[in-house]
Amino acid sequence: MSGHSKWSNIKHKKEKTDAQKAKVFTKIGKEISMAVKAGGPDPASNSKLRDLIAKAKSNNVPNDNIERTIKKAASSDSETYEAITYEGYGPSGVAVIVETATDNRNRTGADLRHYFDKFGAGLGTTGCVSYLFHEAGVIILESEKSEDEVMEDALEAGAEDINSAEENTFEITTAPNDLSEVREALAEKGYTILSAENDKIPASTVTLTDDDAITKMRRLLDALDENEDVQEVFHNLENDLD
């Protein structure tokens, strides 16, 4: 789930239990399946698939699983998933965007409507909160180089900005369409890529102070995380709910 700190969310994902990791594998598998159907099974000519293979490997998905998913998606009898994005408001007006991949839009829509009604304020129409976010590619990498050295390499690779996330860990920002090219250029320079994904960055954030609102927001995010159709959740909440 993405709020204002991509690195904190990456660390949270890496600390998940085995059962939770299995769900992450399943969600990445859906993304790979959709990428194969849209652009073919060859990562050399399908940059989206190439990015997702890198994402799968960074999440410790076994190579056999990746190859099996690609082969299955390329067959004519594989499942077909539809990408649908929902927008809505959580407690106290927290903006929430939910990206899904589903084989049954009625089921998914009903589930999300239930979660928002129960724990938040409700789903809205397309565009109701997306204007509060901007798209960007975000690369998290490890390096013992200085921040100045990393910045020089990142800018040379085509990045737009760099920030130090913590010791030896850096957050590189790119234009959405440049993510794959910058990731590959940095990998060729020997950097360890922890994550490389397109993200939705909020223009401003909301801090909840009411305990009931905080509890409802946490339960809303937990319910979305548990739903197998939900791929990514973006929000503008400042609070750390972990």
- Could you read off the pLDDT of 174-191 as tens digits, one per residue? 999 999 999 999 999 999
What's the mean per-residue pLDDT of the chain? 90
CATH 1.10.10.200 spans which residues of the chain?
Answer: 6-74
User: Which CATH superfamily hosts domain 133-202?
Assistant: YebC, transcriptional regulation domain (3.30.70.980)
pLDDT of 73 over the 90 cut: yes
pLDDT of 5 over the 70 cut: no
pLDDT of 71 over the 80 cut: yes
pLDDT at 192: 92
pLDDT at 58: 86
Tell whether the torsion through CA atoms of 158, 164, 170 and 174 is positive or negative. Answer: negative
pLDDT of 19 over the 60 cut: yes
pTM: 0.87
d(CA 185, CA 156): 9
Point out which residues pair with 83 in neighbouring strands. 101
CATH 3.30.70.980 spans which residues of the chain?
Answer: 82-131+204-235, 133-202
pLDDT at 11: 59
Q: Quick one: what percent of the chain has pLDDT higher than 90?
A: 78
CATH architecture for residues 6-74:
Orthogonal Bundle (1.10)
- Say which CATH topology domain 82-131+204-235 has: Alpha-Beta Plaits (3.30.70)
Q: Under 8 Å CB-to-CB from 222, ≥6 apart: which residues? A: none
Residues 101-129 have a mean pLDDT of: 94
Distances (CA, A) of 1 to 44, 55, 75, 77, 199: 29, 15, 31, 32, 10
